[in-house]
Chains A and B, each alone.
Chain A
Amino acid sequence: MNRIGLLSTLAFGLILFGLGMTNSGFLVLALPLVVFVLTGLLFGSPHPRITAERYLSARRVGVGLPVTVRITLTNQGDKLEQVWSSDTLPPDLEKLSGQTNCLVSLEPGESTSFEYTVKARRGTYFFPSLHATTSDYLGLVRRMIPLGASGSIAVLPDIRRIPTIPIRPQHTLGFPGTIPARIGGPGLTFFGVREYQVGDSMHQVNWHASARHPYTLYSNDFEQERVADIGLILDCRGESYLAMAQQSMFEYAVIAAASLAQSFLENGNRVGLVQYGQYISWTFPGYGKIQRERILAALAQANPGASLVDHFEYLPVRFFPPRSQIILVSPIQNKDLEVLFNFRARGYALMVVSPNPVSFELSTLPDRTSVRLAGRIAQIERIVLLRQLQQAGIRVLDWDITIPFEQAVLALTRGSARFNMGA
């Protein structure tokens, strides 16, 4: 309850009683209360003017890196006897050191600041607008002033530098890149032999073929290398992921998606991202560093959630250009197979990067014979599932999350999928 209101009510009540009962004792008791009320009215600042600034040492950081938040309050009006301000920390943000509030007196033009250091897990965190409460020293007349100065921090997913993954989609774009385009032209890889054309370099002439055909020269043709459209799909269905011992397997999927996006964008490809879970979030395809930022910002906010549909049936295929490369990051469930086969049937080059839920769960369980046996059975089931994908021409990276992602990707660069039999 407002203090001056309470005191005023009590004071007037006592005076009223005193007059009504003709008892001077009540009037005497009312006097100290009246003095308090008058003091509040006398010293309470009528129009406090305060500005606030929020300084963040970084707006985008990696997981676990500290961010310093400093808030500076400046008094733009008359003297303020008491100013209270407190910053509300978003949930899941861990305070490492410093102060999140202050109680000070401010002379005209004087500034004060308080700062604290926080760290957080992956995500986007919004600091709400600040408020300050001004009052006299006794806190009798309090006024709350909105100060603005909201802010946000994006904690980006961990990105691993992975080797270039060789892919061969049927359709490539017009710009030169690193992906074999299945078209002859300038390049490095031998593609075929054709009749000599004016302008061909002498080094290109295939002398062996030319020797067998008198009066005709033949040149070596090389395979063009171009950039391609790559659609990343991140499975955000809550049911796909295990979460044990305050660790979620979804984090591994996000790391994989971020690392893949970075790798393909660095090679000049056009990359888009679809998050498929509670809702469908689409990051439109694009090139370069700006696109990298867009994708990382989207991944920073990614969260697994209860999906309206329990399989990939409603995945918006039309987002991806025909015959382009699609990379699905998902632990994969049995019911997903059919939809993935359909993708393949439509001509998409499909790759599945699958964080292994069995090895994840085993890493959190005690090392017992029964657990090891159960783990082996689960691994065999998973291998059978993934083999079905491979038989449909889908490349699979079964990522045992106990080894780093960059190391797991080496298996793909050698052209074979990796299967682990578990413990």
Chain B
Amino acid sequence: MKLVRQIFSLSLALSLVSLTAAFLGKPGWVPILIGLSISIQWAFMVWNGRRTLSFSFLGLLALLVYGAAIYLPAGWLLGSLVMLLVAWDLSEFSEHLVRLDPGRVDSKLVHHHILRLFYVAGVGLVLGGLALVIKVRLGFGIAVLLGLSVFVGLAGAVRYLRRSL
């Protein structure tokens, strides 16, 4: 349990550092202060075993999206997002472990979880990094096709969401 919270705190701090690095100097300190306050509040809730309901995650993600919209350095934003995803996953996992009776936490399962999380975060980071390096020029037709496929995918995601809730 403690290990999970420690890694959560570390990843959240790294995410905040990346976010700060991305925002540093450009639109002022306001987004950084917002990110800092959300992070502190999130960390406090996780360490006290309270439910976070993904609002902190969504708040920080909104800052990243804003950063992308104003063309901040995508490398820092990518790093911040990956660390944010790790923190989000661990905060939910920590909530799950809190619901378990004391002494029932299977350390093997925790290690498997963390290992899987690192693999996925690593792959995401590498793919994102490759996307930053590789430049592809899209024609109008391909962009429309991709847009349509995204629409179909979005509709599928919403359908899945409605079915599973």
| Residue positions of A touching B, CB distance < 8 A | 1-6, 8-10, 12-17, 19-29, 31-33, 35-36, 39, 43, 81-82, 84, 86, 98-105, 114, 136-139, 142
Contact = CB atoms under 8 A, between A and B. Distances in A.
Given A8-B160, A28-B132, 6 more contacts: A5-B157, A9-B154, A25-B72, A28-B74, A29-B65, A138-B117
Interface of A is mostly: helix
15 contacts: A12-B150, A15-B146, A17-B69, A23-B71, A25-B77, A27-B131, A28-B77, A32-B124, A86-B99, A101-B101, A103-B100, A114-B104, A138-B113, A138-B116, A139-B96
Contact of A25 (B74, B104, B157): B74
Given A36-B120, A103-B100, A5 B64 contact: no
B132 to A, nearest CB: 6
Interface in B44-92: 54, 61, 64-65, 67-69, 71-72, 74, 77-78, 81-82, 85, 89, 92
Contacts of B82: 32
B72 to A, nearest CB: 8
Interface in B15-66: 54, 61, 64-65
Contacts of A99: 100-101, 103-104
B96 A84 contact: yes
B117 A105 contact: no
A12 B120 contact: no
Contact of B165 (A2, A10, A32, A82): A2
Contacts of B3: none
Given A12-B150, A28-B77, A103 B96 contact: yes
B99 to A, nearest CB: 7
Contact of A105 (B72, B78, B108, B164): B108
B143 interface: yes
Contacts of A28: 68, 74, 77-78, 128, 131-132
B32 to A, nearest CB: 18
B2 interface: no
Which among A9, A19, A21, A139 has the highest number of chain B CB atoms within 10 Å?
A: A19
A103 B99 CA distance: 10
A365 B127 CA distance: 76
Given A5-B164, A9-B154, A101 B99 contact: yes
A24 B121 CA distance: 20
Nearest to B149: A15
A29 B64 contact: yes
Contact of A33 (B85, B112, B123, B125): B85
- Identify the interface centre among B100, B156, B158: most chain A CB within 10 Å of its CB: B100
Nearest to B151: A16
Nearest to A6: B54
Interface string B131-162: 11000000000010011001101101110110
A39 B153 CA distance: 16
Contact of B131 (A21, A31, A103): A31
Contact of A32 (B100, B116, B128, B132): B128
Contact of B127 (A1, A5, A32, A81): A32
Contacts of A6: 54, 161
B120 A23 contact: no
B112 A25 contact: no
A1 B103 CA distance: 28
A390 B131 CA distance: 98
A82 B74 CA distance: 35
Contact of B112 (A1, A2, A20, A81): A81
Contacts of B81: 29, 32-33
Contacts of B154: 8-9, 12-13, 16
A376 to B, nearest CB: 53
Contact of B77 (A5, A8, A19, A29): A29
B101 A100 contact: yes
Given A19-B146, A103-B100, A105-B108, A32 B125 contact: yes
A86 B132 CA distance: 45
B77 A31 contact: no
A21 B69 CA distance: 9
Contacts of A2: 160-161, 164-165
A105 to B, nearest CB: 6
Contacts of B71: 23, 25
B10 interface: no
A362 to B, nearest CB: 43
